[in-house]
């Protein structure tokens, strides 16, 4: 299903209300946090570390010399194992790997690096022979980012390395932004001892349910991230409201119900989170239209948001809270089915999740 589509309504008054809601939604989305776009300083590019791995000393020294002349710092490795070790510990901006080396081939190093979450985003260039089509095909299969033919052309070497160093720097900036965001989420979670590890549980539950439903991988990843960042907008909610044990006043509830919009604005500049935005904004909607912030109904609520709210409700009822003890799973699902009968939740998702939790077919 289209995550962003909103079905039309048949009744005129409802249609006008939805149109107004959508106008407000678009206005909200214009108010995103702006990230200034700066050019990358040449000193940042040229101070990068480049790994050159080749068992032939003359080739290794030649490539190292050319790159050092351009201002790069170079680490030379004489075999595949040394290259892999430096990829893990040295965090180079780019790795140049000969395809045939002792201990580990360039292909084997590439496979190992791309399988490791700490090194998979480091661009890897394989050095191949001019007519080695098979090497290139195998390299693509192994996850190589680029190729250089031997003998290496100096201008091509410098141009390729410069381009990939810039790419790695942009990737680092994106990773840093996501790390800051996740740290912000953990700081919110840490304010309430009763929600310890709540986000990680939601992330695991959501992905497991999505995989059970055979959702595509990009939506499974969105749910993995959504489980972590769905409540990031609570950073704008004062602690006396966030941690209040009793019922909220109408004014406090209005502030609390604004947090999905704030969360969406915080995450909107990150393109890597584009599939997560519907989860953040709509995980507090209800099937009968009584939820917030957009009062969506039924399947107007994106499927990923409905998945997250299903596991969120389960986790809230199945863990201790200041005002009550955790319920056993059987009681939790009884409550959830009762609320689904009121039109609040997607009962088909509750049934699937119940089968998963209770390990029934």
What per-residue confidence (pLDDT) applies to 35?
Answer: 38
Supply the DSSP symbol for 123: -
What per-residue confidence (pLDDT) applies to 33?
Answer: 38
| Pair 280, 229: CB distance under 8 Å | yes
pLDDT band at 323 (very low <50, low <70, confident <90, very high): low
The Cα-based distances of 63 to 81, 141, 166 in angstroms read 19, 25, 19
Q: Where are the alpha helices (DSSP H) in 151-197?
A: 154-190
> Tokens 């939601």, residue?
202
pLDDT band at 10 (very low <50, low <70, confident <90, very high): very low
Provide the greatest CA pair distance for the chain: 78
pLDDT of residue 205 exceeding 90, the answer is: yes
Query: According to the per-residue pLDDT averaged within each range, which of 46-50, 135-139, 233-237, 339-343 is highest?
Result: 339-343
pLDDT of residue 16 exceeding 60, the answer is: no
| Structural domains of the chain, ranges and CATH numbers in brackets | 12-16+191-357 (1.10.3210.10), 47-170 (3.40.50.2300)
pLDDT band at 168 (very low <50, low <70, confident <90, very high): confident
What per-residue confidence (pLDDT) applies to 267?
Answer: 84
- Quick one: what percent of the chain has pLDDT higher than 90? 42
SS3 126: strand
Q: What is the pLDDT of residues 128-159, one digit of tens each?
A: 875 667 777 888 888 888 888 888 888 888 88
pLDDT band at 311 (very low <50, low <70, confident <90, very high): very high
Phi and psi of 117, rounded to 5°?
-60, -25
pLDDT band at 44 (very low <50, low <70, confident <90, very high): very low
Q: Compute the distance between CA of residue 350 and CA of residue 353 in angstroms, rounded to an integer.
A: 5
pLDDT of residue 181 exceeding 50, the answer is: yes
pLDDT of residue 41 exceeding 70, the answer is: no
What per-residue confidence (pLDDT) applies to 351?
Answer: 95
What per-residue confidence (pLDDT) applies to 194?
Answer: 55
What per-residue confidence (pLDDT) applies to 140?
Answer: 85
What per-residue confidence (pLDDT) applies to 174?
Answer: 62
Q: Is the entire prediction scored with pTM above 0.95?
A: no
Report angle CA 276, 278, 284 to the nearest 5 degrees: 115
pLDDT band at 18 (very low <50, low <70, confident <90, very high): very low
Long-range contacts of the stretch 206-210 (C-beta < 8 A, 24+): 206/307, 206/308, 206/311, 208/356, 209/307, 209/310, 209/311, 209/349, 209/352, 209/353, 209/356, 210/304, 210/307
Q: What is the pLDDT of residues 69-82, one digit of tens each?
A: 888 999 999 999 99
Sign of CA pseudo-dihedral 53, 57, 63, 68? positive
pLDDT of residue 309 exceeding 60, the answer is: yes
pLDDT of residue 334 exceeding 80, the answer is: yes
296 Cβ contact partners less than 8 Å away, ≥ 6 residues apart: 6, 282, 285, 289
What per-residue confidence (pLDDT) applies to 22?
Answer: 38
Question: For 117-134, what is the mean pLDDT?
Answer: 80
Q: What is the pLDDT of residues 86-110, one digit of tens each?
A: 999 988 989 999 988 999 999 999 9
Query: Whole-number mean pLDDT of the chain?
Result: 81
pLDDT band at 64 (very low <50, low <70, confident <90, very high): very high
pLDDT of residue 299 exceeding 50, the answer is: yes
What per-residue confidence (pLDDT) applies to 139?
Answer: 81
What per-residue confidence (pLDDT) applies to 322?
Answer: 65
Q: Compute the distance between CA of residue 313 and CA of residue 331 in angstroms, rounded to an integer.
A: 13
- Quick one: what percent of the chain has pLDDT higher than 70? 79
What per-residue confidence (pLDDT) applies to 310?
Answer: 96
């Amino acid at each position: 299903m289209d995550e962003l589509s909103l079905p039309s309504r048949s009744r005129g008054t409802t249609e006008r209300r939805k149109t107004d809601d959508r106008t407000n939604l678009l206005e909200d989305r214009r108010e995103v946090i702006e990230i200034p776009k700066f050019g990358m300083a040449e000193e940042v590019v040229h101070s990068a570390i480049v790994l050159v791995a080749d068992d032939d000393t003359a080739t290794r020294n030649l490539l190292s010399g050319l790159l050092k002349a351009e201002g790069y710092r170079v680490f030379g490795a004489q075999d595949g194992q040394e290259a892999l070790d430096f990829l893990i510990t040295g965090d180079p901006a780019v790795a140049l790997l000969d395809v045939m080396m002792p201990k580990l081939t360039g292909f084997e190093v590439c496979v190992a690096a791309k399988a490791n979450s700490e090194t998979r985003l480091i661009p890897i260039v394989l050095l191949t022979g001019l007519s080695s089509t098979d090497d290139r095909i195998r390299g693509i299969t192994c996850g190589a980012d680029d190729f250089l033919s031997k003998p290496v052309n100096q201008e091509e070497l410098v141009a390729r390395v410069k381009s990939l160093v810039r790419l790695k720097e942009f990737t680092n900036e994106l990773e840093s932004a996501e790390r800051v965001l996740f740290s912000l989420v953990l700081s919110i979670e840490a304010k309430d001892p009763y929600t310890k590890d709540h986000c990680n549980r939601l992330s695991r539950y959501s992905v497991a349910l999505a995989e059970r439903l055979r959702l595509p991988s990009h939506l499974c990843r969105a749910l993995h991230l959504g489980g972590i960042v769905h409540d990031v907008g609570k950073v704008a909610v004062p602690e006396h409201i966030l941690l209040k044990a009793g019922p909220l006043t109408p004014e406090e509830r209005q502030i609390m119900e604004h947090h999905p919009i704030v969360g969406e604005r915080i995450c909107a500049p990150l393109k890597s989170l584009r599939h997560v935005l519907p989860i953040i904004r709509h995980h507090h909607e209800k099937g009968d239209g009584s939820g917030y912030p957009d009062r969506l109904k039924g399947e107007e609520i994106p499927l990923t948001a409905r998945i997250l709210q299903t596991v969120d409700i389960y986790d809230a009822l199945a863990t201790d809270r200041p005002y009550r003890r955790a319920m056993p799973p059987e009681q939790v699902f009884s409550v959830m089915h009762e609320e689904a009968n009121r039109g609040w939740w997607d009962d088909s998702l509750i049934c699937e999740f119940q089968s998963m939790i209770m390990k029934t077919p």
